[in-house]
Amino acid sequence: MYISARERKILELLLARNEETTVKDLANELQVSSRTVHRDLKGVEEILKEYDLGLNKKSGIGIQMIGDDETKEKLKLFLFNLSHSEYTPEERQTIILSELLDSTEPVKLMSLANDLNVTIATISNDLNKVEERLAAFQLHLLRKRGYGVEITGSESAKRKAMSKHIIENIDEYELISMIKETIQKKSSQAIDTITDRLLGLVDKKKLLIIERQIDQIKDDLPYSIADSAYIGLVVHLALALERIQQGEDINFDSDYLQSLKDTKEYKVAEKIVVGLEDIFRINISHGEIGYITMHLMGAKHRNDHEDLLEDTSLHVGMLAQKLIRFVSDEIETDLTKNISLFQGLVAHLRPALYRLKQNMGISNPLLTRIEQDYHDIFSVLEKGVQEIFPDLHVPKEEIGYLVMHFASALLNKDQHQELKTLVVCSSGIGTSKILSTKLQQQIAGLQTVNASLFDLDDIDINEFDAIISTIPLKDFTEDYLVVSPLLSADEVDKVKRFLLGKNKPIRKSNQQETMAKLPGKTGDFLQHIRKMKNVSTAIYQILNGFSFTRIEESQSVESILTSSCEELLANGIISGDAREVLSDLLQREEIGGLGIPGTSLALYHTKSRKVLEPSFTITRLKNPIEVKAMDGSQVDMNTVLLMLSPVENQEETLEILSAISSLIIRDEQSIKQFESGEEQEIVNLLTTELKSIYEQTLTH
């Protein structure tokens, strides 16, 4: 039976989807016109007849493959083992790129033409497209008659290209499955799939060994890593080992390497390398350790709560607030007081800015859908990043993730949820967040908990009324529903039908519901009370301990901080020796400037074991002092904002301190009040903000 490349792709797409899909969506995936898809569907239906399968066509909704699941598996296996005599142009270019990246010597055009069963002219045209892809990595194609073609450029650039090439072209779930050892054993016969070709760049056994090494050290990191970053690190290390064993080493700037050696990530990278050297009996250079460190520093955190007292987070917080203000002004909707949006953006931007500065790149498999579904907000953020980050090139992939955070904030509604649903998602913070928000928005009576695929083994499934996933869960025996992360209107109906069978009534969304009842179950009620207690305690401690001091005579920063710490010691907020807290503050200042750019404010902050409770105090100076700002510039400081926190803290306490940090830099009016406002004005501002947080906690 002859199957064309497009027919095969259409069949694969239909087999991968349990719900209806439109011809337009298929056309977008294949990068052809809808008319072309309609024409190819005739051939697809003929193929399906041979397997006793068919197409269910619903006007205005889409098409869906129908038939016995066992028969579908037979068709899937046939397509999987099909020896490709024809590829789509995109598949050919992917294969050519894989061959060139993997080769240590020039590749003949005739060899590529024979391999892909096309003419040399076709290969030459494909190479033009391949060269466009390589340009983003500062790589080039060297083409000479009689010599062949090869990729030229740095080793680090080649690895970046390989890593992105694999992650963008292989289904994320397939990689996760492979890493988790759940992938089905493939037939021993020769298979010529695109996935097979791409994975030729790495040894699958290495992936598994490396994953085990990373799993052993992940608790050493001060944060958890998102699935996408986790996969990226595993793939990078596998590629690095392959290249090292081929004699290819990476060049790393010695001064920059030295600057990395004091970081937590470098120590973790060293630990990974020691394990890999022992297993593979090879020597791994310090440059390779530096490169692994960069990957760890650019890893996206899985949680969306960011502690603004950590290192560079407050500077990132300023940039996040500027972006929020820009978007708020553009769309004429005030998002500046949305603490969840602010914290989520800081958590995303901190590693994202590092990735951008190091030109590391990131993939976003949902980019096309995001651009289509959120076109307006996407355009606003394209303008926003140009204004807020003028010195950085921010690719569309990163903008897509930022869109998800803002879309989630715009979609969110205050309504109480009662049906507990586990949302399994592995596409990043913003994606899982927007899916949960959309579910809650569309279906009242829904409480969502997000989990990654890697978390599933540690979760008690019995705690949940339903499970909804954005990816198929192989070897998972519980009942669950697969939906796309962006949740189409048809999928909302499908979710409602799915939840109807879960023994709890699904109410229609009622926008008039504004007050929520307290949780009904004893456990939920106690959890709610615990959260309220922690929030109340933190707010009371901060407001009760707040002080506003004026200093008339000229003093040094150290002298001002010493006086503040001694006063806090006398008030019981600091215990033991106040000089230890002073030392922590001065060490923090050495890491980077604490002045807020464009203002006369400086936020001195630290965590210390000598601090007993959270504290926020202000000292106003008659004679300004020049201090270093967070962006490296200088500011004339006339107001010292001092924020202290115990080392061990409740999550709610960190949220309150983050909220105050956000308030300081929220807008020009807020900054002006902290710069020159009277004590009672600032007390009123703080009280209003913290009262709002308390009331939100009370009704959620």
The predicted-structure confidence for 181-240, as pLDDT tens digits, reads as follows 433 333 333 344 555 555 556 666 677 777 777 777 777 776 666 656 677 777 778 778
Q: Return the sign of the alpha-carbon dihedral for residues 453, 456, 457, 458.
A: positive
At residue 510, the pLDDT reads 42
**Greatest alpha-carbon span in the chain:** 92
Answer yes or no: is pLDDT of 306 > 60: no
Between residues 33 and 623, which one has the greater pLDDT?
623
Would you say 665 and 672 are in contact if contact means Cβ atoms under 8 Å apart? no
The one-letter amino acid at 211: E
At residue 638, the pLDDT reads 94
The one-letter amino acid at 534: N
Lowest mean pLDDT of 37-41, 172-176, 344-348, name the range: 172-176
Q: How confident is the model at residue 614 (pLDDT cuts 50, 70, 90)?
A: very high
Please count the helices (runs of H) and the strands (runs of E) in the chain.
28, 12
Q: How confident is the model at residue 112 (pLDDT cuts 50, 70, 90)?
A: confident
Model-level pTM greater than 0.75? Answer: no
Answer yes or no: is pLDDT of 100 > 60: yes
Would you say 402 and 381 are in contact if contact means Cβ atoms under 8 Å apart? yes
Q: Nearest CA to 205 among 261, 134, 279, 111?
A: 279
At residue 149, the pLDDT reads 92
Lowest mean pLDDT of 314-318, 326-330, 639-643, name the range: 314-318
Strands (E) across 483-614 are located at: 548-551, 601-608
Burial class (CB in 10 A: 0-12, 13-18, 19+), 574: buried
Mean pLDDT of 492-496: 77
What is the spatial distance between Cα 513 and Cα 444, in angstroms, rounded to a whole number?
10
Q: Where are the domains of the chain?
A: 5-81, 89-153, 161-297, 313-411, 419-500, 528-698
What is the spatial distance between Cα 147 and Cα 124, in angstroms, rounded to a whole number?
14
Between residues 201 and 664, which one has the greater pLDDT?
664
What is the spatial distance between Cα 197 and Cα 647, in angstroms, rounded to a whole number?
50
Q: Which residue bears the tokens 């239906």?
A: 45
What is the spatial distance between Cα 320 and Cα 552, in angstroms, rounded to a whole number?
35
At residue 304, the pLDDT reads 45
Q: How confident is the model at residue 640 (pLDDT cuts 50, 70, 90)?
A: very high
Q: Which residue bears the tokens 């099909």?
A: 82
Asked: is 419-500 a CATH 3.40.50.2300 domain? The reply is yes
What is the spatial distance between Cα 236 and Cα 290, in angstroms, rounded to a whole number?
13
Q: How confident is the model at residue 512 (pLDDT cuts 50, 70, 90)?
A: very low
pLDDT in tens, 230-260: 777 777 787 788 778 777 777 777 777 887 7
Answer yes or no: is pLDDT of 174 > 70: no
Q: How confident is the model at residue 568 (pLDDT cuts 50, 70, 90)?
A: very high
Residue 205 CB-half CA count within 13 A:
2
Would you say 64 and 14 are in contact if contact means Cβ atoms under 8 Å apart? yes
At residue 432, the pLDDT reads 59
Asked: is 89-153 a CATH 1.10.10.10 domain? The reply is yes
Q: What is the DSSP letter of 519?
A: P
**44-to-80, 148, 511 alpha-carbon distances in Å:** 16, 38, 45
Q: Which residue bears the tokens 């590629």?
A: 239
Would you say 269 and 296 are in contact if contact means Cβ atoms under 8 Å apart? yes
- Phi and psi of 415, rounded to 5°? -150, 145
Q: What is the DSSP letter of 598?
A: T
Query: Taking the CB of residue 185, how many other CB atoms lie within 10 A of it?
Result: 5
At residue 414, the pLDDT reads 41
pLDDT in tens, 124-165: 999 999 998 888 788 999 988 888 899 998 887 887 788 777
What is the spatial distance between Cα 671 and Cα 668, in angstroms, rounded to a whole number?
5
At residue 395, the pLDDT reads 87
Would you say 109 and 124 are in contact if contact means Cβ atoms under 8 Å apart? yes
Lowest mean pLDDT of 186-200, 224-238, 317-331, 525-539, name the range: 186-200
What is the spatial distance between Cα 103 and Cα 98, in angstroms, rounded to a whole number?
9
At residue 515, the pLDDT reads 36
Mean pLDDT across the chain, nearest whole number?
78
Lowest mean pLDDT of 37-51, 332-346, 393-407, 483-497, name the range: 483-497
CATH for 161-297? Answer: 1.10.1790.10
Between residues 36 and 310, which one has the greater pLDDT?
36
CATH for 313-411? Answer: 1.10.1790.10
At residue 170, the pLDDT reads 62
At residue 245, the pLDDT reads 79
Residue 115's contacts (CB-CB under 8 Å, 6 or more residues apart) are: 95, 99
What is the spatial distance between Cα 335 and Cα 408, in angstroms, rounded to a whole number?
11
Between residues 214 and 539, which one has the greater pLDDT?
539
Q: Do domains 5-81 and 528-698 have the same CATH topology?
A: no
- Measured N-to-C along each axis, helices 679-698 and 668-676 cross at an angle, to the nearest 10 degrees, of 130
Taking CB atoms within 8 Å and a gap of at least 24, the contacts of 579-583 are: 580/608, 580/609, 580/610, 581/606, 581/608, 581/610, 581/611, 581/644, 582/558
* Residue count of the chain: 700
Of the chain, the percentage scoring pLDDT greater than 90 comes to: 18
Answer yes or no: is pLDDT of 506 > 60: no
Answer yes or no: is pLDDT of 436 > 70: yes
At residue 171, the pLDDT reads 56
Residue 285's contacts (CB-CB under 8 Å, 6 or more residues apart) are: 249, 250
Fold of 5-81: Arc Repressor Mutant, subunit A (1.10.10)
Mean pLDDT of 32-59: 86
Angle at 158 between CA 154 and CA 162, to 5 degrees: 170
pLDDT in tens, 264-279: 888 888 988 888 888 8
At residue 196, the pLDDT reads 56
Structure tokens given for 127: 């190479």
**343-to-78, 346, 349, 613 alpha-carbon distances in Å:** 48, 5, 10, 22
What is the spatial distance between Cα 443 and Cα 438, in angstroms, rounded to a whole number?
8
Angle at 485 between CA 350 and CA 473, to 5 degrees: 105
CATH superfamily of 528-698: Mannitol-specific EII; Chain A (3.40.930.10)
- Residues β-bridged to residue 62: 58
Mean pLDDT of 497-507: 59
What is the spatial distance between Cα 287 and Cα 267, in angstroms, rounded to a whole number?
14
Which of 301-305, 335-339, 595-599, 652-656: highest mean pLDDT? 595-599
